[in-house]
Each structure stands twice: as C-alpha cells, then as structure tokens.
C-alpha cells in the first residue's frame, strides 16, 4: 500500500520544475551542438566558394599561330602542357621570371613545365614574337 508524500502538490511541482530545467539545458546543449556543426560546415563551404582552387594541370593548344587559351591559371606545384596543333614549329620563351624556355615544339609535339612558386609568368614564342601568353600560378 503506497504512502502518499506529505505534500503531493508541492513535490510534483518541484519535480516538474526540475524536469523542465533539465529539458531546457538539454535543448540548449543540443542547439549549441547543431550551431557548432552548422558553422563548421558553412565556413568550409564558404572558403571553397570564395576561392576556387586552380587546377593541378592545364593544357594550352597552339593553333593558327596563337596560344589557346592565352591566359591560364594553375595551382602552385601544378603544371602546364603546351600541345602544338599548328603546322609550324614554336618555341616558348619566358618574359619573367627569367627561366629557360622550351626546346622547339614540332608539329604534334608538346612541352610541359611545372610551377613551384606563385606568380604571373608571361611568355611568348621566340620564333613568332607576336604570340603571347600568360600563366598565373596561385
Ligand atoms: Cu611560334
């Protein structure tokens, strides 16, 4: 035969208050956890959205006496390959920084250079000086 507490109404109210506090605390912790997860996720995606990563490798076609595309971007440590789809030979020379250019690139030939430092690398064809291009490394 169960004994009732001396003051059931008061005990119940206290128990309810305690449960409400616990629920509020749990809800707050839960919201904080969700908020943290949300901010972590959004900061990651915001970072990739504002700075689109440059590709690791890029191909530039040489056709009709032009570099196509003339402007390319590549990641630091990445490489650019020039493919000669023209009928004549071409040869890449660098304006700055001053580095050795390519050997002669014959018909259907190609030349690949990797870039280890960020910067703007301008080049031209040492046979046809009007042919110009640029590689941005970032
Ligand atoms: Cu040329």
Report angle CA 18, 20, 22 to the nearest 5 degrees: 70
Cα separation, 133 vs 71, whole angstroms: 6
Gap from CA of 133 to ligand 1 centroid (Å):
11
Mean pLDDT is highest, among 29-33, 38-42, 62-66, for 62-66
Gap from CA of 138 to ligand 1 centroid (Å):
27
127's tokens = 């046979």
Report angle CA 81, 130, 111 to the nearest 5 degrees: 15
Longest dimension (CA), the chain: 108
Band of residue 25 on the pLDDT scale cut at 50, 70, 90? very low
φ and ψ at residue 129, rounded to 5 degrees? -60, -20
Rounded average pLDDT over 49-66: 92
Ion ligand 1, residues whose Cβ is below 5 A away: 90, 125, 127-128, 131
Band of residue 6 on the pLDDT scale cut at 50, 70, 90? low
pLDDT at 10: 53
Its pTM surpasses 0.85: no
- What are the tens digits of pLDDT across the range 76-127? 999 999 999 999 999 999 986 667 899 999 999 999 999 999 999 999 999 9
Q: What percent of the chain has pLDDT over 70?
A: 62
pLDDT at 44: 44
């Amino acid at each position: 035969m169960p004994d009732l507490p001396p003051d059931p109404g008061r005990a119940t109210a206290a128990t309810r208050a305690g449960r409400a506090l616990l629920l509020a605390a749990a809800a707050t912790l839960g919201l904080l956890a969700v908020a943290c997860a949300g901010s972590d996720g959004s900061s990651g995606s915001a970072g990739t959205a504002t700075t689109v990563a440059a590709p690791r490798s890029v191909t530039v076609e040489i056709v009709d006496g032009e570099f196509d595309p003339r402007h390319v971007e590549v990641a630091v440590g990445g490489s650019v390959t020039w493919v000669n789809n023209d009928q004549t030979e071409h040869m890449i020379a660098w304006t700055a920084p001053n580095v050795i250019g390519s050997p002669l690139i014959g018909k259907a030939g190609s030349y690949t250079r990797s870039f280890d430092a960020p910067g703007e690398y301008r080049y031209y064809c040492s046979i046809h000086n009007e042919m110009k291009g640029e590689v941005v490394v970032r």
